[in-house]
A and B are shown apart, each in its own frame.
Chain A
Amino acid sequence: MEAIIRVQDFHAAYGGRTVLKDVTFDVQQGEVLVIAGGSGCGKSTVLKHMIGLYQPAGGRILIDGDDICTAVGRDRERILRKLGVAYQGGAMFGSMTVLENVRLPLEEFTDLADDMMDMIALAKLRLVGLDQAAQRMPAELSGGMLKRAALARAIALDPRIVFLDEPSAGLDPITSADLDQLILNLKRLLNMTFVIVTHELPSIFTVADRVVVLDAAVRTMVALDDPRTLRDGSPNPWVRAFFNRQASETDPEPTPSEVAPDDGRPKAERGDA
C-alpha cells in the first residue's frame, strides 16, 4: 500500500482565527479513511481543503504527489480529475435532470459520444439505486435520494479518490446501511479510495479502515487508528467516550447527604440564613 494523499502540518484559519493546527495524516491507496469528531471541530474544513476549495494557512496537502494547494491551471485540473466529491446536501444542479447532473463531468472531461455518456451515467445511477429517477429534477428528490445521486455524480469519472461529506446524515437506517455497503463494494471492486466526513458511529464501524479524530477543544487531531482499537484502547478518554457513545460528563444522582451543600464550600463559610 502506498499513500495517495498526504496531509502535512496542515493549519486552517478563517479570518485570522485558527480552526485547526498541526494536522498530519496519510491516506493509503484503496482504504476508507473517516474524518470524525464532534460538531464544529473542523471535519468539513479539512475535507474542503483536501479538495482544493480553500487555501490552508500552513502546511501541504499532496494528492498523488502533487500539492493541490499551489497547483494552478492544467496541473490543478489534472489533480481534480482524480477526485470525486459528494457534498452534504447533494449540491445537484437544479436546472438539470439527475441524469444530466451525472453526465456533466463526462461531458466536460471526455470526448465520448452522447449515447455512451448516457449509458455510463445511467449505470452509475443504477449502482446507487436511482436509475428509476434518472429523468427527474433534483427538486423532486428526497434528501436521501439527493445524497445518493451526488455519490453517483462523484463517481461518474471513476475517480481514484472519492470524498463524501456527511453521506449518511439524515438518512433512515436501511438507506444508510445500503450506502455503507455501496462504499465497501466500490472500494473492493473498483479499488477506490474514500475520505469520508461523518460522526455516525455505526457507519464508521462498518466502513472505516482508519479514523482521524479531531477535537474542537484542542483544535487538532487527537487520534488516528482503526475505530475498534480507538474504542477499546485509546489512551485519550475523550476519544474512548466518542467511540463508546458516552455522555461528556456523567451526572451523578444526588444522594440525600449531598442535598444541602452549596457551591462545594464547607458549611462554616456559608452565611447563616
Chain B
Amino acid sequence: MVDKSQPEPGASVELRRDDDEQSVVRLAGRLEAGTLPGVWAKTVEPLRRTTPKRLVVDGSGIEYCDGAGLGLFAELRRILATTGGEMHVTGLAPDLRRLLDLSALEDAAARVLEPEPRPGFVSQVGRATAEILGDVRDIIEFAGEALAGLAWAAVHPHRVRYRDMWIVAEKAGVAGLPVVCLLGLLLGLISAFQAAIPLGKFGAQGWIPAMVAVGMTRELGPLITAILLAGRSGSAFAAEIGTMKVTEELDALVTFGLNPTRYLVIPRVLAALIVTPVLVAFNIMMGIVGGYFVMAGMGYSVRYYAQSIIDSITYVDLLGGVFKTLVFGLLVAAIGCQRGLKTQKGPGAVGDSTTRAVVAGIVLTILADGVLGCVYYYLGL
C-alpha cells in the first residue's frame, strides 16, 4: 500500500566531476524500475563520455533499491571495468551492501557483456555455404543408409516391422484419402474450366478430356499427391522421429543394438511406397470426374467423355505417372525421416525439423519432376 501522505516516491541523483581523474555520484531516494530511467540518463550517459579513472558512488541517501537499482550499479561497474578505472561505493545500508556484494558482477564477467562483433558479409556467406554443404552431405549419407536398409529389408523380409508399416500406411493413406480425392476433383474441374474458354475460341473444346486426362496422369496427379504427402506425412515422420530423438528413444534403440534406419525409416518408406500409387490413382480418377462436370455443362455426353479419355491415355502415360509417384513417395518419406533423425536439442527443434521436412520434401519432389520430365522426353515417352 502506498501511503498518500508521503511525498511522491522518487530518486535523485547528483553527478560531480572533481577533476579529470575522479567523479562522484550521489544517489538518493528509491532506486527501482520506475525511477531508474531518469537516474540512468543522468549517470550512465555522462560517465560513458567522461570515463573517469575513479568513480565514487555515495549511496548513503538510498532509501530502497531493488533488482533494477542493482542493474545501475552493475552498469556503472562495467563502464569503469571497460575503461580500466576503479569504482568505490560508500555509505550503503548494511543489507543493501550485502545484496550488492551477492549480485555485483565481477569485472571479468562484466566485460563479457560486450556484444560479440557481428560476422561480416563474407563470413556469413561462408557459414551459410558450409551449412548447405553439410546438409547435402547428410542427405547423401542418409540416402546411402536408406538404400542399404532397403536392401537389408529385401534380404530379410521377415525382420521388417510390418505392424509399424501398416499403421503408417493407414495414417498416410486411408486417412489422407478424402483430401486427396477432394483436391483431385477440384484440380480436374478447375483445369477443364480454365481450358474451356481459350479452347472454345478455336472450337477445340472436344480436346478438354484429353487435356485433363493426360495432364492429371502425367503431371498434376503425382505432383499434387506428393506435395500433400509432404505436408501430411513427411512432416509427421519428422515430428515423430524428432520427438523420439529428443526423448532419448533413439538412443535406447541404439543400445538395444537396433538400427534406427532399419527400425524406423524402412517401415515408413515402405508404407509410403505402398500408399502413394493408390493415392495418386484416386487423385487422377477424381480429377477426371471433375473434368466431366465442366464437359457436362457444355452438353457433352458421358460416353463421348469416357471414350476421349480412353483414346488419349496410353499405358506409357499411366506407367510413367506411377513411376514418378514411387520416386516422389520415396523422396518425401525419406527426407521426412532424415530430418527427424537430424533433430537438434531444445524446445523448438522438432518444429524446425518438421518445417524443413516439408520444404525439402516439396523442393525435392519438384526437382525430381523436372529431371524425370527431361528423361521421359529424351526417351520419347
Query: Does B26 contact A273, Cβ atoms closer than 8 Å?
Result: yes
Proximity bits, B250-261, A CB within 8 Å = 1, else 0:
011011111000
Query: Does A91 contact B251, Cβ atoms closer than 8 Å?
Result: yes
Q: Which B207-247 residues sit within 8 Å CB-CB of chain A?
A: 243-244, 247
Query: Does A259 contact B97, Cβ atoms closer than 8 Å?
Result: yes
Q: Choose one: B24, B102, B256; the contact of A271 (CB below 8 Å).
A: B24
On chain B, the residues within 8 Å of A273 by CB distance are 24, 26, 56-58, 60, 90-91
Query: Does B56 contact A270, Cβ atoms closer than 8 Å?
Result: yes
A170 in contact (CB, < 8 A): no
Query: Does A95 contact B91, Cβ atoms closer than 8 Å?
Result: no
Q: Which B87-126 residues sit within 8 Å CB-CB of chain A?
A: 87-91, 94, 97-98, 102
Given contacts A108-B256, A254-B97, contact A262 B251 (CB under 8 A): no
A89 in contact (CB, < 8 A): yes
On chain A, the residues within 8 Å of B18 by CB distance are 271
**Beta-carbon nearest neighbor of B77 in chain A:** A263
On chain A, the residues within 8 Å of B54 by CB distance are 271
Interface residues on A, range: 35 or more
Query: Does B94 contact A91, Cβ atoms closer than 8 Å?
Result: no
**Beta-carbon nearest neighbor of B18 in chain A:** A271
A80 in contact (CB, < 8 A): yes
Given contacts A254-B94, A271-B56, A273-B24, contact A48 B89 (CB under 8 A): no
Main secondary structure of the interface of A (DSSP, over half): loop
Given contacts A254-B97, A273-B90, contact A53 B251 (CB under 8 A): yes
Proximity bits, A231-273, B CB within 8 Å = 1, else 0:
0000000000000000000010010100110110100011111
Cα distance, A163 to B91, chains bound together (Å): 57
**Beta-carbon nearest neighbor of A263 in chain B:** B88
Cα distance, A272 to B58, chains bound together (Å): 9
Cα distance, A251 to B57, chains bound together (Å): 24
B22 in contact (CB, < 8 A): yes
Main secondary structure of the interface of B (DSSP, over half): mixed
Q: Choose one: B164, B251, B256; the contact of A104 (CB below 8 Å).
A: B256
Query: Does B248 contact A80, Cβ atoms closer than 8 Å?
Result: no
A207 in contact (CB, < 8 A): no
On chain B, the residues within 8 Å of A136 by CB distance are none
Proximity bits, B53-71, A CB within 8 Å = 1, else 0:
0101110100000000000
Given contacts A260-B90, A270-B88, contact A53 B256 (CB under 8 A): no
Query: Does A53 contact B255, Cβ atoms closer than 8 Å?
Result: yes
Cα distance, A213 to B19, chains bound together (Å): 55
On chain A, the residues within 8 Å of B167 by CB distance are 95
Q: Which B1-42 residues sit within 8 Å CB-CB of chain A?
A: 18, 22, 24, 26
Which A residues form the contact surface with B (CB < 8 A)? 48, 51-53, 76-77, 80-81, 83, 85, 87-95, 104-105, 108-109, 251, 254, 256, 259-260, 262-263, 265, 269-273
Q: What are 25 contact pairs spanning A and B, CB under 8 A?
A: A48-B251, A53-B251, A53-B254, A53-B255, A77-B257, A80-B257, A83-B255, A87-B248, A90-B247, A91-B247, A91-B248, A91-B251, A91-B252, A94-B244, A95-B164, A105-B256, A108-B258, A259-B94, A260-B90, A262-B90, A263-B89, A269-B88, A270-B56, A271-B54, A273-B60
A53-B254, A53-B255, A273-B57 known; 12 other A-B pairs, CB under 8 Å?
A48-B251, A51-B255, A93-B252, A104-B256, A105-B256, A109-B256, A260-B91, A263-B89, A271-B18, A272-B56, A273-B26, A273-B60
By Cβ-Cβ distance, the 10 closest A-B pairs, closest first, are A271-B56, A273-B58, A91-B248, A91-B252, A87-B248, A80-B257, A77-B257, A85-B255, A259-B94, A91-B249
